[in-house]
Amino acid sequence: MKKLQVLKLTDATGREDSYHSKQFEFLLDGKHISETNYFLTDNNYIVDIDKDIDTNSANVKKAIAEGAVLTTMYYVDDENYSSHIYDFDVEGFWNGVEYGDDHGIIFKLKDDGENYERYVSSIEEDEENNNY
């Protein structure tokens, strides 16, 4: 599990083809998201799964000035989270991190992240031992 600083876009509207966010435009500065290390979750969180959002970046500063909010979340690698999460009881907020494929999941509460990490490990152990 990683403790990460992520960016919450507060002005996002629409979905897919009709998606719009001035904060997102400032952050990407003309690039496509695939040209960055960022992931955009369904609930409009920007996540770099390898490190914190770079608060020294001019583009990040512009997005924050426009109203985006920097917040701490807890990231767990899980390439099958869309199968695992629905049998897991979460106390707080979670959101999947994906771009075509599952990469992992972010949690608002540290305890949820720790518990989920243990839960996924137990599923993987069961799968290895053919008990799943």
Q: Are 115 and 78 in contact (CB under 8 A)?
A: no
Whether the pLDDT of residue 15 is over 90: the answer is no
Using DSSP, state whether 53 is helix, strand or coil. coil
Reading the block at residue 28, the tokens are 């990407």
Whether the pLDDT of residue 132 is over 60: the answer is no
Q: Are 10 and 69 in contact (CB under 8 A)?
A: yes
How many domains, the chain? 1
For strand 39-40 and strand 2-8, is the pairing parallel, antiparallel, or unpaired? unpaired
Q: Quick one: which of 29, 48, 35 has its CA closest to 97?
A: 48
Question: 44-95: per-residue pLDDT in tens?
Answer: 999 999 999 999 999 999 999 999 999 999 999 999 999 999 889 999 999 9
Residue 131: band (very low, low, confident or very high) from pLDDT cuts 50, 70, 90: low
Using DSSP, state whether 2 is helix, strand or coil. strand
Its domain, for residue 16, covers 2-128
pLDDT value of residue 124: 81
Residue 18: band (very low, low, confident or very high) from pLDDT cuts 50, 70, 90: confident
Residue 30: band (very low, low, confident or very high) from pLDDT cuts 50, 70, 90: very high
pTM value is 0.90
Residue 120: band (very low, low, confident or very high) from pLDDT cuts 50, 70, 90: very high
Question: 108-117: per-residue pLDDT in tens?
Answer: 999 999 999 9
Answer with the residue of higher pLDDT: 64 or 132: 64
Q: Quick one: which of 99, 42, 44, 52 has its CA closest to 74?
A: 52
